[in-house]
Chains A and B, each alone.
Chain A
Amino acid sequence: EPEVTQTPSHQVTQMGQEVILRCVPISNHLYFYWYRQILGQKVEFLVSFYNNEISEKSEIFDDQFSVERPDGSNFTLKIRSTKLEDSAMYFCASSDDPGGNSPLHFGNGTRLTVT
């Protein structure tokens, strides 16, 4: 069964550094998402992306964050200057429909630790 893959599984970085989290969505999907989950808490929406542009973003997704689809298979999340509170699990998801007809399929996440 096709799956969403994310790399790395764990990223440790120092406060103020830039990180790029990488995702390969399911190949025939057109809608891509990033979510964040702070340890033990709910899964929070960050951003959705379609047709090479952001479709919707949450208040968490401020100017420190950016997303990109650099080629036909990868989808990345960049955090320009990491803060301690950015430590969380980051999940990438994709779907073949923007909402209302099919579920999101999630990767297993990247655990980001900011020290």
Chain B
Amino acid sequence: GESVGLHLPTLSVQEGDNSIINCAYSNSASDYFIWYKQESGKGPQFIIDIRSNMDKRQGQRVTVLLNKTVKHLSLQIAATQPGDSAVYFCAETPGTYKYIFGTGTRLKVLA
């Protein structure tokens, strides 16, 4: 979803459930995409990336899906844990020397 001012969209999930975080990117020329996790008081931390010649990539407990037709990216987290609580950002690269971040989604893991 879209964020307005200080209000980030929030996803609340039960511990152990799977999480799906969505991102709509803006530039059809973007050919590389990254998901970042940002914990309070820290910088964005790399989670997983994907190039435009792929539509799915898996990591440890995370999967990124790319749909270029509708310019949509998603991050799936399996068996969500309390330590996954953070703000998640997608980023796209519409060209060299520039990575553009999306608006972010706050993930809250409920015990």
Measured CB to CB, the residues of A under 8 A from B are 4, 31, 33, 35, 39-45, 48, 50, 55-56, 91, 93, 98-109
Contacts and interface: CB of A to CB of B under 8 A. Distances in A.
Contacts of B34: 103-104
B44 to A, nearest CB: 5
A93 B99 CA distance: 11
Contact of B43 (A42, A91, A98): A91
Chain A interface mostly: loop
Contact of B97 (A31, A35, A106): A31
Given A99-B32, A103-B34, A105-B46, A42 B104 contact: yes
B96 A45 contact: no
Contact of A56 (B45, B98, B103): B98
B70 interface: no
A16 to B, nearest CB: 27
A32 to B, nearest CB: 10
Interface in B20-68: 31-32, 34, 36, 38, 41-46, 49, 51
